[in-house]
Structure 1
């Protein structure tokens, strides 16, 4: 009997249906020669510290805790399912690992096989979608089990190293926090701490931002009876590094000269015909970013909806992917998918008429596929009324990205005109859309795309003179960085390589898609919110006072994303057999020992017991005196310039007063 071990019950039902294993058993589905069983995520987890000694009571003297022999314990809620799998393993002739096709999926199955001491043959089912056609295709291409075994070793090393960092540094800083008067847990982790630092740094950049004034001069010109706009180009000596004119007198003087002269000569005309192809299909991070901006969904909410579309409705492919490219082998399914889209949404008829199934966008590139391809619709014909409002909105975005791959390019003429008026230079830009192409369906799906600046310039000739009819001086101010939202924080985690200087580590972070994985980023952000490190203000994320204190206290290397890059380098070597799991963990233990011993005597800043919290960074505030009286000032001044007025005491009515 061939035993299929799936990651989730819904996944098991889909595979069992294709295998015609329809007979229900205890924790499994059975058919002719095949039984399909399932996990519920991880059935086993690394044992807590108290399993390795008398560590239930937290103490600095016990740190670091480094297990000599690692132990796994059964999660109580799923213990019965582990017994089912254990029994089935005793009677099967071979095992097919059918968990999700990534490191974590490999670990879920392999840790069970090791726990149950299974020694028989093993095969691997590599799935990216749960529709019947995809399952049949994958069943016809089962891989040898040893081919994906290195993924388990990588996941095991990463899991145990994360345990070492999380357990030891969380205990260390929580205990130091208690010594300083902080209540509650101060968790530290390889991914969550650098993520938290991103928000803390952004908050500090906003708090310390000092707006600068600058001036622009807009000119209105006329040629052949047609008005158009141009902007004055200030001299370098009057500009800051961003090219803004920071001297009002210079801008006002230029405006007067332009008005007095009343004419400008065209020096140069540049016209470019731009053909813009569609964006790639969605990876999870990009989907989370777009759903945050367009729909106001959090990262965890987007993941939950995408998972439901994949598992429950079979409407889309596997969502936890870091890749937007599509395998060329799936081109054969394009007509079927487009037909299903047309059947589910007749309103798409206009775009489906223009769609060319033979069109090959840059998304179709098998050489760039990682463990999973981009998120796209399946050939299942949906009843859209059966989807919730959120599911329908997210599905519409995914569908639009897929449909865009078969629509014409977005084409436009981009024109740049350089004009001179005596000593002053003006620049006019024009954009004329020739064909909306795929942008029509993307804009329709997204709903609130910014209005494109499409100034239509009149027919102009080089050396010709045009009339300058009006000038306007505009006073403007530089704007602070925007606070993170869940969507932009996910994007920052993906592109964290931009904050690393070392070229090799930068490239490794790019190759490994940054901090965390598509499957874990949402949970990391939600965990920071749940622990009170981050708070949501409408859609924005703000770091708490405890977050600022922790980031100031933790060792720089723990909050540095370069640590993830170094780990990824090591995991690559584990996957190729150049480094053992044991050697990797021994190095982490040595590093942790030095870290703990070097910080055990650290004193954290005690929390304020009186006074308000800073409205900018949530740090404690102290009362200060200014020219107009007392006020509250952030204790982190000058990094943070948050202030609050001192509340005036309420006046009480005196006896006999009216």
Structure 2
């Protein structure tokens, strides 16, 4: 019997339908000689320490480090019924097709089950980039050999075991050291979550340290040939900072007086250059999350959920958990099919369709840049837009627009910089005249953005020439202050996680890192951020996210190497090397275990000097409260517990008199 092992029931249903397997069984679809079943995500998980030794249920420093000699996995209790279904089918299977998600995690989900069930028969791999009928049929017609994707399993297994070693050992170590220092919460340490948290802590500290500086600017309203435009005063170098801002008020006031006394200024030079911009690449997941956070106000997990729904439920877009914005060159043959389907889905695209050049192959088609997955694009078949909710439709339109942009001309504009003078005072005016709209027909330019500069307005200048006189219509002296860095949004945090090499200061790490290596993966970053929010380390404040007191405590307590994003990015690079066969799984885990052992030996006898977060007064007795953890997240609990059972939810001023919650240990990512 041939068994197809999918990741989710919805995928199983789609594949079974294409295979013609219509009979629904218990946790599967079956027919003569064939069965389609699914995992519901991870059916098994890495066993906790107490599985190896019952005494490890109790946390003590003497037990550390905990390093399994023979790694174990165990069936997750809540999905044990489905595991039994899969195990029974595998016991009868003579052929197996892995049909889980086409990525590292999908490989891990399937192969851990295969190993635990003891299946030893032939294995093939179904590699799906989309769940529409045409894509499923095409993928079923060219199954991959098992050996081709096996290294992805080793890479995912290395990631899972490294996470376990760091999370189980260092969370226990620093929680116990924290208790000795009087901290009553769990200090949850994770290979990815802790350096991610450090990014937020560092940004918040940068904001807290920021000292605003006063500066002065002058905006001059001018006119020439009957047309109005504005210019900015250029302060003398001796009075400015590195950004060209005037820090000396008397200098600005003197300039204002001279400009007010004059009725005109003279044009000294006019320089115009034609700027050509190609369309942006197609979306990878991280870029989609960043753009949806900025333009639509969506959390990164919400964006991932919507992208997953567009892929699984609506069959409207391709696989979302991609780290690549390029397409295989072979997919250029599908362009007309995709574009025709887009028009059938939405006839209002008619005007744009007539302007597309279907023969134009943009830089997005590049075999050398494609990774395990290609960029997120619309599928080959018409989508039912009426079945999408408002947010799904908004995300779909972003993905569609980036695809359509590939077939429009470059966006071209003339950028003009005019230098003017009035006695000793210099002015500059910048203008922009669009020559060819091109791909901006479908992707609007962000307001106030021009070539990476902050521009308050984009103006079209009148025709100006050297020596021309312009009339002064108004002068505005502005007293301004420098602004602190902005707090992270979830989208901006994902961007920093992706491009962490830019934030690494250690020259040795910087040299080792590729610019493309980040921390976490497209598939895990949303979960990492969500986990930090649930644990109370990150607090949402509108669209911004800020570090909690507990976050500062944790980052100050753990070794710098654990919290350094550069260290984790090097680990991610090692996982890539395992996937490409350049590094052995066992070698990587042995190095991780040795490093964990060294850290524990170094910190075992140390005392932590940590800040104990102080909460609001106890609502029952008025005494001090301490942060505790529960299944529902962190909360403030009376320091006199169990004599007093007052609690206060974190992030609110509303007090509750609920019974105290049980503290739980936190696994980390």
TM range (shorter): 0.7 to 0.9
Aligned to 1:311: 312
- In the alignment, the residues of structure 2 paired with residue 227 and residue 119 of structure 1 have an alpha-carbon distance, to the nearest angstrom, of 79
Please give the secondary structure, in 2, of the residue aligned with 1:118: coil
Shift of 1:502: 4.9
**Structure 2 CA distance for partners of 1:611 and 1:391, relative to 1, 3 Å:** closer
Aligned to 1:237: 238
Aligned to 2:602: 598
What's the CA shift string for 1:441-481, capped at 9, x where partnerless?
A: 2239x999999833121212223343444432211110111
Equivalent of 1:455, from 455, 459, 463? Answer: 459
- In the alignment, the residues of structure 2 paired with residue 608 and residue 36 of structure 1 have an alpha-carbon distance, to the nearest angstrom, of 52
Q: Which consecutive unaligned segments of at least 5 residues does structure 2 have? A: 619-624, 627-669
Equivalent of 1:570, from 571, 574, 589? Answer: 574
Aligned to 1:607: 612
Aligned to 1:156: 157
Aligned to 1:194: 195
- In the alignment, the residues of structure 2 paired with residue 399 and residue 364 of structure 1 have an alpha-carbon distance, to the nearest angstrom, of 16
Aligned to 2:43: 43
- Note the aligned Cα RMSD (angstroms): 2.6
Aligned to 1:5: 5
Greater CA deviation, 44-53 or 179-188? 179-188
Aligned to 1:652: none
Greater CA deviation, 330-339 or 310-319? 330-339
Report how many residues are paired: 614
Shift of 1:296: 1.9
CA contact (8 A) 1:419 1:427 kept: yes
- In the alignment, the residues of structure 2 paired with residue 372 and residue 325 of structure 1 have an alpha-carbon distance, to the nearest angstrom, of 9
Equivalent of 1:478, from 470, 476, 482? Answer: 482
CA contact (8 A) 2:265 2:421 kept: yes
Greater CA deviation, 287-296 or 176-185? 176-185
CA contact (8 A) 2:517 2:572 kept: no
Shift of 1:571: 2.7
**Alignment partner of 1:495 is 2:499:** yes
Shift of 1:395: 1.6
**Structure 2 CA distance for partners of 1:610 and 1:284, relative to 1, 3 Å:** closer
- In the alignment, the residues of structure 2 paired with residue 361 and residue 612 of structure 1 have an alpha-carbon distance, to the nearest angstrom, of 62
Shift of 1:576: 4.3
CA contact (8 A) 1:103 1:155 kept: yes
Shift of 1:572: 3.8
Aligned to 1:406: 407
Shift of 1:606: 4.9
- In the alignment, the residues of structure 1 paired with residue 39 and residue 349 of structure 2 have an alpha-carbon distance, to the nearest angstrom, of 39
CA contact (8 A) 1:291 1:297 kept: yes
Shift of 1:375: 1.3
**Alignment partner of 1:548 is 2:549:** no
Please give the secondary structure, in 2, of the residue aligned with 1:514: coil
Greater CA deviation, 185-194 or 228-237? 228-237
Aligned to 1:650: none
Shift of 1:578: 4.4
- In the alignment, the residues of structure 1 paired with residue 229 and residue 310 of structure 2 have an alpha-carbon distance, to the nearest angstrom, of 48
What's the CA shift string for 1:466-503, capped at 9, x where partnerless?
A: 34444322111101111111111111111111111356
Please give the secondary structure, in 2, of the residue aligned with 1:325: coil
**Structure 2 CA distance for partners of 1:562 and 1:294, relative to 1, 3 Å:** same
**Structure 2 CA distance for partners of 1:576 and 1:439, relative to 1, 3 Å:** closer
Q: Which consecutive unaligned segments of at least 5 residues does structure 1 have? A: 614-619, 622-658
Greater CA deviation, 549-558 or 128-137? 128-137
**Structure 2 CA distance for partners of 1:197 and 1:157, relative to 1, 3 Å:** same
| Residues 28-67 of structure 1 mapped to structure 2, 5 A cutoff | 28-31=28-31, 33-53=33-53, 54-67=55-68
4+ residue segments displaced more than 6 Å? 446-452, 610-613
Shift of 1:329: 2.1
What's the CA shift string for 1:235-268, capped at 9, x where partnerless?
A: 2211112211101111122222333344433332
- In the alignment, the residues of structure 2 paired with residue 260 and residue 478 of structure 1 have an alpha-carbon distance, to the nearest angstrom, of 29
What's the CA shift string for 1:291-346, capped at 9, x where partnerless?
A: 22222221111111111111111111111111111222222322222222222223
Shift of 1:570: 2.8
CA contact (8 A) 1:327 1:364 kept: yes
- In the alignment, the residues of structure 2 paired with residue 140 and residue 463 of structure 1 have an alpha-carbon distance, to the nearest angstrom, of 72
- In the alignment, the residues of structure 2 paired with residue 430 and residue 367 of structure 1 have an alpha-carbon distance, to the nearest angstrom, of 38
What's the CA shift string for 1:366-421, capped at 9, x where partnerless?
A: 22111111111213323322222222222222222222222333222111112233
Please give the secondary structure, in 2, of the residue aligned with 1:364: coil
- In the alignment, the residues of structure 2 paired with residue 498 and residue 296 of structure 1 have an alpha-carbon distance, to the nearest angstrom, of 25
